[in-house]
Chain A
Amino acid sequence: MIAVEQIRKNFDGTPALAGFSLQVGRGELFGLVGPNGAGKTTLMKILSTLIRADGGTAQVGGLDVTAQSREVKRLIGYMPDQPGVYQDMGVREFLEFFADAFHITGPRRRAAVDRALARSGLAQRFHDSVEQLSFGMKQRLILAKTLLHEPKVLLLDEPATGLDPIARIELRSELKQLQAEGVTILISSHILSDLEDICSQIALIAAGRNASDAEGHSVIQLRAPRAPVRVYEIEFMGDARPALGVANSVAGVRLLQSGPSHLVVEIVGGDDQAASLLRALVMGGVNVVRFDHRAVDLEERYRLAFGEKHP
């Protein structure tokens, strides 16, 4: 549904995107993670037709975002980071204006606005001024406005920033509901636990390019039924050299970290391959005291990929 190939964008000679690629399937809830200045917002703006790429291609629903921007606008709903509202408008008036802006007219307009009010939980406050709403309610209003024309693709740039925990839970729940309705969602966020909870895959981006985690993956699978690649921590007593030798000699095993009494390895092939490595270590004279599968959470993968300076 979203296909980005070698996209490039410079601002005054400084590259914001330098050949980033991404594929998001129909109906997926896909995360985009990277440090500040990585190019996430620039990518979102290109996909939402706000700015043009200098090179590469970007398609949404098979439509080129530059050449077919008007058709793309019908397909997408874009929620920028730090979105704004017209403070002096009424809640209903705000939604009606954007319904008009999306050419939703007649009875469809009234139905769309009513649906948006119900969905955002603002049905009781339709007569209030936007200025009177709390920050969380304004975010809900903006999301409701983004959904007015029933987009097939949602582009959400840091939608949870500034929300309290309850509002974040409600946002996650709404995004899951939208995904269940068949909407494809690309979401960037710094709140990794939120992404981990809702996304099926997460792409890593740094310095405008695809980045890889410590295991070499540029796209992290979070909802795969059975991960073909697993990370194991091995602790042993005595000399480290035999353990290193064995780890480097067994097929399907890749050394990620090593220390005087521990190794971290990536094993491709599941439990059988892990058993082979353990057997080889023991046969090789290594006194193994711990051999554990380590479930690496998103935060740790992020830390390993981008370093501790980017929390």
Chain B
Amino acid sequence: MNPMIRKELRQRMRERRGWLLPSLYLLVLSAIVIFIYFVTTQNPDRSSVEGAAVGVFLFLALSYSQLALLLLMAPIFSSGSITIEKEQRTLSGLLTSLLTPGQIWWGKFVSSLLFVLLLLVTSLPVLSMAFAFGGIGPWEVFSATLTTVIVLASISAIGLYCSSTFQRSVHATAVSYATVIAITVVTAIVFFVRLQIYQSARSPSTYTWYTLPLNIRAPMYLNPFFFLTASFAPPRQLYPAWTTCALVFIVLGALAAALTLHNLRRSRDV
């Protein structure tokens, strides 16, 4: 086992946030489940509520809430990962050992991602409550979970890149959050603004996602929530929207990893 992974996991689990964050995370998700359940079952306009409708609504609400919460948490674990080594002046010890920059990166990446995945796994019992109501199958849970993992891996890689670029954790964390905001909020704003301009220039007509020009659709391929939405399509309809999003996030993560390795090899402030 890569010694970096063992060291990182031990250190993370010793921190107070090692148990505090999963507890808070589960509390928030549980609150969302209770809220959604009461909203869907106490709708005065409906004489009877189908269990499947509750299940689907619960699942969608939980999937989006979970992604939002994890997008907020992922930078906490990754963006301070290398800067902490710089701040406590231990990076030179790692770089002059026989650990390669690739092993150091992999250790940091896996431990950052594993902690976020721990949160994801702890939420599975809450998510599985949707099964009890019906309307949701294993495929939906699998594709939503896989999509969330790809997004979180990419965000963790970007957080590590910020961590390798900046000297202080506070700066790396701020830039990581700015990146999360850029890909979630800014891409959505750009898309909707361009869509409005596109619609106003043409007579009202029905259009589908794929009839929109690519330059209008493009920002949404970077949006994690659109990526998650695309994952709810049946298996045969995952191409091209979900596949394109997956490719974009994998390339983004790979690019961030390559730049992090470059920074580690050229690290002078150690």
**Chain A interface (Cβ < 8 Å from any Cβ of B):** 11, 45, 48-51, 70, 73-74, 76, 78, 80, 82-89, 93, 97-98, 100-103, 145, 149
Chain A positions within 8 Å of B99 at CB level: 101
Cβ of A80 to closest chain B Cβ, rounded Å: 5
What are 17 A-B contacts with C-beta separation under 8 Å?
A45-B92, A49-B95, A50-B92, A50-B268, A70-B98, A76-B96, A80-B89, A83-B89, A84-B89, A86-B88, A87-B88, A93-B10, A97-B6, A101-B3, A101-B97, A101-B99, A149-B98
Chain B positions within 8 Å of A86 at CB level: 7, 11, 88, 90
Interface contact A101-B88, CB-CB below 8 Å: no
Q: A48-B96, A74-B98, A83-B89 are in contact. List 12 more A-B contacts (CB 8 A).
A: A50-B96, A51-B268, A80-B89, A84-B90, A84-B93, A88-B11, A88-B14, A97-B7, A101-B3, A101-B94, A101-B97, A101-B98
Interface contact B93-A98, CB-CB below 8 Å: yes
Nearest-CB residue, chain A, relative to B267:
A50
Contact of B97 among A73, A84, A87 (CB under 8 A): A73
Cβ of B18 to closest chain A Cβ, rounded Å: 11
**Chain B interface (Cβ < 8 Å from any Cβ of A):** 3, 6-7, 10-11, 14, 88-90, 92-99, 267-268, 270
- Determine the distance from Cα of A70 to Cα of B88 in the docked complex, in whole angstroms: 24
Contact of A145 among B3, B88, B93, B270 (CB under 8 A): B93
From known contacts A50-B270, A51-B268, infer whether A84 and B96 are also in contact, taking CB-CB under 8 Å: no
Cβ of A238 to closest chain B Cβ, rounded Å: 60
Interface contact B96-A78, CB-CB below 8 Å: yes
Cβ of A140 to closest chain B Cβ, rounded Å: 15
- Determine the distance from Cα of A88 to Cα of B97 in the docked complex, in whole angstroms: 20
- Determine the distance from Cα of A264 to Cα of B3 in the docked complex, in whole angstroms: 61
Nearest-CB residue, chain B, relative to A85:
B90
- Determine the distance from Cα of A48 to Cα of B10 in the docked complex, in whole angstroms: 28
- Determine the distance from Cα of A98 to Cα of B92 in the docked complex, in whole angstroms: 12
Interface contact B93-A103, CB-CB below 8 Å: no
Nearest-CB residue, chain A, relative to B99:
A101
From known contacts A50-B267, A88-B11, A88-B14, infer whether A100 and B3 are also in contact, taking CB-CB under 8 Å: yes
Chain B positions within 8 Å of A85 at CB level: 88, 90
Chain B positions within 8 Å of A11 at CB level: 268
Cβ of B91 to closest chain A Cβ, rounded Å: 8
Cβ of A236 to closest chain B Cβ, rounded Å: 55
Contact of B88 among A45, A84, A149 (CB under 8 A): A84
